[in-house]
A and B are shown apart, each in its own frame.
Chain A
């Protein structure tokens, strides 16, 4: 591990919040009251929560120490497949945190908040331009929320045609959230097995698509990192039977400026702004999952929508065929601000370059590692490459062991055990913001881990060694859940 960045750590111990503090301390200045104490009926009152009292220093040090046990994109390469962990630009944080935006109340009259409305309006238009779709709502708060919005559009469309449909085609290479999103709208997912080349087989779609089926949910490129080459033909079959095509846009980073989703036959899709459009993932969120549709479905998009009459931006709520409101207000607004800043900084040319470099990086890793890790499908990949632990099994080393050893070398592991179609999957998505040197170091480290698997499997079984905690017992956590202190 001569060149690996992860060699030592500055790890401070830190107890749980309530294991420190003293009653009477406080970490926030509260002004003395300048009004008289009002009458308050005693029967309304509770004892107040059992929170520790901490000083500002206690709180700041606590979270600073916690942060040092974490690994983020700013720490190093985060090749987590399907998650597009690219660099999160700092200027976007500054603008999202602008005080003028912070104080914008979402229930203000339109005339008082033209600026915040304009951001939504412009983002809607830019996302339409990037995808090739016609109309956009930025209300959904995350990818799965966008999928739900899309499925609601499916349901509203079929209802408008006078017939409720009950099933939906669900390829085994679709994103994990898709079946649950469809089920929320009452659709029974009909599983579709990907063909021997890792992509969908037209004949199978033709056989299964019928007039009880609302349509298909396709992730393209799919979760194997492969472009669904037959998408147009599949879309035609689905459309012929009166169905709609949903495009899960979580992998949009592979196709910006290269693929026109409308030309592919996609009717509805969502984007993950926290993936393709560089907004930070925050250890789980907030994300944003705008939903994009073709013209004929625009009337079904969530309400309200932001419109512009040439001089004024306004919220339009009078949209009788809309699926309705998805979020109390306008979605994760500050995330939208970041994404807009990213698009404005990049422009068309650099967004396309981002895609080209993302694919270039993935293909480079694929070629360099395919003699070391088993490659699930040896075909031209897009923005990610899916390997597996097939060759390491003889040494009793699993994907999980490889992942944990990579951590000790200073890398966040790839996505593991997903997609489910590849046993022991190792899904690597480098993104475009990693340089050639960074990729080369990563590749060397993976090769070394593969070598260690052969000569010293226990080293991998006992990884990670360099973190605050050693390997954690997840089975025990689920068997005897302790969910609070």
Chain B
């Protein structure tokens, strides 16, 4: 019997793909990244493929690059594969047409994901694979983790035989990230299906100078068409080949699949046709309905391209009268989605009576698809006049396409244990649940399934784990709706989430509470009490937080609660479970050493001591309805508020904007209050340096300078002190924490340079327990916000203190606690926020910047603020350049119109210096005057000018993104945009890895660092992007690190804005992926500079005149060895632990890199310009 393990869809597919390949080109993209990561790790560890060779795994600069490399590898005779998803697949399309056109055996494994349209979504649907259906690739769909493994092999086998390349796909997250019990294939299965003679045939067709051929010709109208038709027989033969391979698989494993699998009544009248994970939910509905005597069925599509019409027709019962075809994608403007159209064609061409066929959309971007929804579809078909087009799973009150769903249908059998766990990312709930699934999968002999929901926050994120255990394979591809066991691992979540909505009647509820069984009841929210009583739940409490603390586990309550789960759920005998938990702990944490093991085991051993059942008071209380009621049609009040309440699924279509446009300034509504400790200001020793405010990643420490009159009406005890500045005499200042928005990262405290004389450890700002200060600080923060902002013309914004007097227009993002990127963005908005427009590359900054429900980008009291958008990952520089061109085009028109209509004002506008605050104020005043002047004119010119007038106030275009964008995927575009000479500003938030997808190496990753895709340590040095940009001569370039030099950072950003041409600012951003103590992030930045790892410099083309030095080195020669920096970061030290000799070797090279660069920079700083070359070195931008 085959080995049985519990893995996810990505691992299932990658296991086969790796072993069936010789060359693997990879690039990170959610949710496919783990396939590449596993391949890279296996290759680094020397794991062989099915023929005993270790595949070559290479990370490329984009999916386009990966596809190109795969194409080349195939042409040169290797077996090659890649993994991708969504936008990545789109970038592969050109090569896919080539690979297919050349009839080259290849497989691309895709975790199918939505394509960004009105918004990006990382979640699963078929819009990406459907976009690839004209490439000539075969499309093979897996609907479960088991199939992801099995069909991966069938794809590799069938492509060798049929020569048509395959796109093998399964649903992103739902299948790619679902853990499920799988019967494993083994290497013999692989060798049996992958015919070596066919591999030889593939090689014999390869390009080789030993038997040269020409491929990739250009063809003229005379033959191109015929040549295109020449491959038809291969497509005709392919369905037969796939079925043969499926049969071969069945012969070896007993798992039988067909091109189209039918399940349901043999005499069905109503049938659903669909593909992907949703079919398992539909199958459950069909089974239940058939058992109730309904004549219904389900046809699951496996091989979608080539579409085998004969096989399809043959699989459908002859009795079928009505068919509903479900597509997991949307093709606006079409007659119907692709699968629907194929079914119509197949049935029409069959001849005979044409059944009624309707087309429906479901499950876009991982929208739930449940058996109840499948039932709704079948019920819809039963209607005498069924809808021809419909949607299911949402409420569409605009086009009225949605089917009504009766949620009462449950298909879950009684012998399946269903458990739901609510926790925080930081408490380890998900990790423990993954272990539990593996334990139960192994020990019960049964089947287990786990699916995990994560919110989009990177700090204080909430996780929900859905676990099923049962005696049969578990297909249920939807969240648990009714759980016999519910655990809430964080007491605080009871207030925020309706955790007991999912609890079944009589379920067990395990609560981690800081209270005992006797007093916990009175501390429960009323709604929770009501549900416990109404559903007759059994309530158990344990103070897991205390147990974990005592065991040295900190906030990780996972093992304690895992043990309690096993004790209460009875899925395994307790003794066996505890032994298994400890074994799982050893497997997961064994590498981390005895101390870590001891602590985990201590947590397990003491877990059950405090577990106690609470006696629930008698009597059923009324359960209050919690359906939200909205009186306002305002988008924030209705839509944002509902999403924030966790009920976004209930929003009807009318609640959503038609074009993805949302209001700014919504992060402040969240009040997530995730900090345990918050910084409290002691003004008595404050030195007014403003450093706490400038380093705060969350804009949660604010400084305001104001006249003392502003303190009128201040709440009692509101703290202010004299502001010591001779330019602003008699002013007061306050440092204020936003207590509900602070994440408690502690960076401000670590940065504060003011120490008490009496006790050096006491600073002017200190972390103190939030509960002791919350009420008071809330009141103070509210008042603080009401204090008028300072007049920008009174101060020097481009200084540390000046900038921090200004209102940040980027606040309270969901970035990681202590994020190294966000302080730069916040600072930018303080300097330029009310006149900046931002193009943001996809990555961390687009997620914490624009992942709904809220955004940290906000507006000031005048309603002005940064205008922000995210286009794609690869095109961001071009996207921003387009914005600049649009502004320039409109400004030019406005200037010309103004010159005709109000020449005096036009002249004054041209004279006002938009590089000063006073100049901006003047420009705004003049624009207002201009508007007033032209309002009565009423001519077409005047009306046009009225629309364009605002462009006459100087705007600042910022192109923001991470190193993955700037160094890799977007580099070509970035280079072109810098070379354009246009007035754009580029801010690279350089974390030196792809942070958002989990730390894959980029060309910014330094030598010797361990990263995903560089598991053996990065071999090559980091690209010097800044130096490359200086070669244009007209690009302002700065290399900055806030934690090392605040003034240089502020100055560089202001200079970049001021330079009337392209600017590139590369900002060192410490990151969770560096493996550092985040509280010391700014200190690490300083070390980076002090060791010469990150030199600070500016190249100012404005100083390229005679006798000037455009290149200025702002940091001193390294005074510390590089190891003083690298020793504090796990990305470097992990290599010392895993491969000490290699770490030593790369460390020496890295030090050499630093020394060499210092030498080069010192020489660059010496370069003096002799000749002025007007027009050459300055911007090439059109003169205004």
The answer to whether A and B assemble together is no
- Listed in ascending order, the chain B residues whose CB lies under 8 Å from chain A are none
